[in-house]
A and B are shown apart, each in its own frame.
Chain A
Amino acid sequence: MSDRHSGRMNGHAIVHRILIDPTLGVLALLVIFAVGAAILLPVFYAGNNLLNLVGSSITVMILAIGVTVVLISGGIDLSVGAVMALSAGAAATSMRLGLPVFAAFGAAILVGILAGVVNGLLVTRVGLPDFIATLATLGFASGVLYIWTQGVPIIGYMTPEFRLVGGLQPVFGQVTLPMIIALALALIVGWVLSSTSLGTRYFAVGSNPVAARQSGIRVRWVKTQAYMLSGTCAAIAGIILAGRNNNVPADLGTGYEIQAISAAIIGGASLMGGRGRVLGAVLGAITLALAINIINLVGVPSSFQKIVIGAILLLAVFANFVSDRVRSAALRRRATHFSSNVA
């Protein structure tokens, strides 16, 4: 359907399109970083650096996909990092208890979905603001994991399956299971958002909840679904991280929520709801990983990472702001054009 339209587009419209499409903004940023790194840092393309880079971005990417859906539906999920860690802890503990590996994965997913249900209930039934509700869940989830581990990382749960899921062992060639999982998740969630009525509802609820309700959409249930999806993504990321990390410390998830939300926003999601793309979140996560990678290669202390993430976030938000201005200017032009046609 979209190709039918591009056929009708003139040059001006294409330029306009590029300026207003947030995903192209993050793509441009990514290309600039990659080219800059290639020119300035010969080690950038050396050895397995690129593969490591993609590998290290996968957990944030999966979290960001879930966060994007929550942002689209007009919420925000601060609990993803803590829920991811708790899910990882659930998986690791289940293994230690001698459960089969798939039961361990199932336990992790269950923890993620439950956290999503709790977030959803706090927001839609108790009526807490999304920010506060998910902040509470963050505190609760990390507290539970801390008590559970008593501050000592959980170890001794690794099996060949966990090595595979963690990406320590490739499936074929250089391709690891986390890459396949992330790709599949991105494709599925992207497809749901663009092509199904389920996806339409997330946008409707985030963009104008009153209108959505008047159209007969169960707004509270749709918001809860978004949190459940985000919780599930966090659990999947938790399983991968448990496999990759060999141990589950109590603070495993700390800071991940910032990276995930940043990746989603860099990818064009709006805190005001109703806007966001899975592809954007994926590219946003890679951009963040790339920036951190460059910092490491240059030899800047890793404590600067947070500053860089903040700077990129600002840059992305600024780019969105500019594209909004371009867009509304274009709309005004069209509006005056329209009124002259009427006359």
Chain B
Amino acid sequence: MADDPNLPSADVVPVLEARGVTKHYDGVTALDDAHLSVQRGEIHALLGGNGAGKSTLIGIISGANKADLGTILLDGEPITAAGPQATILAGVSTIYQELSLVPALSALDNIFLGRELHRRVLGISVVSDRRRMEETVRELASDFGIASHELHTPVSEFGALKKRSIEIVKALAFDPKVLILDEPTSGLEDAERVSLFEYMRTLRERNVGLVWVTHHLEELVGLADRATIFRDGRNAGTVEVANTSIDQFLTYMFGDQRDEFGAGDTRHLNRLTPLDDAPIVLSARGLNRGSVVRDVSFDVHEGEVIGLAGLAGAGRTEVVRTLMGLDRLTSGTIEVDGRRITPRSSTAAYRAGLAMLPEDRKQLGILADLSIAANISLSRLRTVTWARFWVSARRERALAERYRTRLGIKTPTVTARIGNLSGGNQQKAIVARCLNTSPRLLIFDEPTQGIDVSAKVDVHALIRHHAADGGAAILIASELEELLELSHRVLVLKKGRIVGEIRDIPKSIAAGHFAEIKSKVLALSAAGSAA
């Protein structure tokens, strides 16, 4: 083993190593001779754009998928047994990007799923020993804010944050040698993010090897030790994070393509002047819905992007859902261009000139099995039909082609299945669907969640262009920096109420007051009117 030429120059045997991993899917090469080497007590970032092959490699390491070629070594020994179970038992735990808990089971049963502790009854060990399981994880669980009675509650009753914590506990409960974190911060608030990072440091001290997949390059600094970057299924390089600038990372990730979006900085489009005198597109007055939306009133002007800020559960998504007719209002009025509308259904809302990019793209947004063209034309089929009935494939393609050029959707053909596109390109197709209705007001709910840096820049440009062309927009984004950079005005929500408003944001940022606005929003979100 020791004189194997493939071993890295490090004198210690890496705890996890992937050698020459190659994987094809339906003729597409997802991974081509990929290498990864992770030491004990190291946080090793795994970077790359959408479709670079990170998820494929993680799938192979965790045993969910099989590689066509190549080996995975743990402590220098090849993992021979196949399957997720064997990998977990060998000491490799994975926290997946998509929440992967079983809603019907309690937190405790989820944590021990597949690895239950048993009590012997009549000489056979099949009876789950829930008491011993609880004792085993109680301390770890409470470290992550899960009280011991919550361990017995079905997971379906928890919110996203708590579910994420349960997943982390599940991954840590068995003292893994290697912990793989696939976008672990998605859906987490700042405070949770910080405590997760704290835990990653603790694990590093305990000599665990961490593999960390992230799109947020700014998170790396001061946390990750080394980073391996993939581009188009191949190794683009392995670097020390401390000696690498964000710019260099981007070059590793996107190579020459970088220039395509490097010029896409559209910040100059943000209007510095207040938009109070512009015509009002949407006027909401006294919106109420049970206890989740309470007395919410605001206007959106032409050319304006309104940001909604607040903690999880503050009612941001709930407010826009009532606008779109997805949830019924208990009281309140909505006017679009001065005309009163009662959105009973999303059809009515679309007809009135509203359109929304839903939060959960995979579940609410795309029709995965249909073509890109069909996904775009769906919102306004009559533009591609004869006699409002017969769908013309030619017109549908033509429509999709227009948006492909305009929004830069990267696909060989618009008749391809949308499910095969990367997240960023799916998102652009959904934006195209919204734009196809020529909306007066476009609502973006977490538009850049789970998409890579280059697609993110494109989506930002899209939002700014929409506003600059006189459209109005409402934006929800958990990432506060993103929200502030895109919005003209931010409304802070707490417990369903608007507790504050911050105006003239582009002007303040131009004057260098970014940090002040940010802390103001944070203070308002946490403390409400006290700020």
Render B484-515 as a binary contact track against A, CB cut-off 8 A, 1 for contact. 00000000001110000000000000000000
| Distance A210 CA – B84 CA, assembled complex (angstroms) | 11
Q: Quote the shortest CB–CB distance from A274 to chain B (angstroms).
A: 4
**With A207-B103, A336-B313, A339-B313 as given contacts, are A213 and B84 in contact (CB-CB < 8 Å)?**
yes
Interface size on A, residues (CB 8 A): 37
The answer, yes or no, to whether B101 is at the interface (CB within 8 Å) is yes
User: Which residues from A are CB-within-8-Å of B109?
Assistant: 200, 203-204
The answer, yes or no, to whether B444 is at the interface (CB within 8 Å) is no
User: Which residues from B are CB-within-8-Å of A244?
Assistant: none
Interface residues of A in 195-242 (CB under 8 A from B): 195-198, 200-201, 203-204, 206-208, 210-218
**With A196-B128, A200-B109, A339-B312 as given contacts, are A275 and B104 in contact (CB-CB < 8 Å)?**
yes
**With A214-B84, A335-B159, A343-B311 as given contacts, are A198 and B64 in contact (CB-CB < 8 Å)?**
no
User: Which residues from A are CB-within-8-Å of B89?
Assistant: 216
Q: Are A212 and B159 in contact (CB under 8 A)?
A: no
Which of A274, A334, A338, A343 is within 8 Å of B526, CB to CB? A343
| Distance A275 CA – B102 CA, assembled complex (angstroms) | 12
Q: Quote the shortest CB–CB distance from A238 to chain B (angstroms).
A: 27
Which of A216, A334, A338, A340 is within 8 Å of B115, CB to CB? A216
User: Which residues from A are CB-within-8-Å of B254?
Assistant: none
User: Which residues from B are CB-within-8-Å of A335?
Assistant: 159, 313
Q: Are B495 and A212 in contact (CB under 8 A)?
A: no
User: Which residues from A are CB-within-8-Å of B130?
Assistant: 1
The answer, yes or no, to whether B149 is at the interface (CB within 8 Å) is yes
Q: Are B84 and A208 in contact (CB under 8 A)?
A: no
The answer, yes or no, to whether B528 is at the interface (CB within 8 Å) is yes
| Distance A203 CA – B62 CA, assembled complex (angstroms) | 23
Render B79-101 as a binary contact track against A, CB cut-off 8 A, 1 for contact. 00001111111000010101011
| Distance A338 CA – B115 CA, assembled complex (angstroms) | 31
| Distance A213 CA – B102 CA, assembled complex (angstroms) | 11
User: Which residues from A are CB-within-8-Å of B114?
Assistant: 201, 212, 215-217
| Distance A204 CA – B113 CA, assembled complex (angstroms) | 8
**Smallest CB-CB separation from B134: which chain A residue?**
A1
**Smallest CB-CB separation from A196: which chain B residue?**
B126
**With A217-B85, A343-B526 as given contacts, are A212 and B102 in contact (CB-CB < 8 Å)?**
yes
Q: Are A200 and B105 in contact (CB under 8 A)?
A: yes
| Distance A334 CA – B157 CA, assembled complex (angstroms) | 9
The answer, yes or no, to whether A125 is at the interface (CB within 8 Å) is no
| Distance A228 CA – B94 CA, assembled complex (angstroms) | 32
**With A214-B64, A339-B312 as given contacts, are A203 and B88 in contact (CB-CB < 8 Å)?**
no
**With A8-B149, A207-B103, A336-B496 as given contacts, are A214 and B94 in contact (CB-CB < 8 Å)?**
yes
User: Which residues from B are CB-within-8-Å of A339?
Assistant: 311-314, 495
Q: Are A338 and B159 in contact (CB under 8 A)?
A: yes
Render A306-343 as a binary contact track against B, CB cut-off 8 A, 1 for contact. 00000000000000000000000001111110111011
Interface residues of A in 1-27 (CB under 8 A from B): 1, 5, 8
9 contacts between A and B (CB under 8 A): A200-B128, A204-B102, A208-B103, A210-B100, A211-B102, A211-B110, A217-B85, A274-B104, A335-B313
5 more A-B contacts (CB under 8 A) besides A200-B116, A216-B83? A1-B130, A200-B113, A208-B103, A216-B85, A331-B157
Closest 10 CB pairs of A and B: A216-B85, A339-B313, A274-B104, A207-B104, A197-B116, A211-B100, A216-B114, A215-B114, A215-B113, A216-B84
Task: Give residues in B with beta carbon < 8 Å to A.
Answer: 62, 64, 83-89, 94, 96, 98, 100-105, 109-110, 113-116, 118, 126-128, 130-131, 149, 152, 157, 159, 290-292, 311-315, 494-496, 525-528
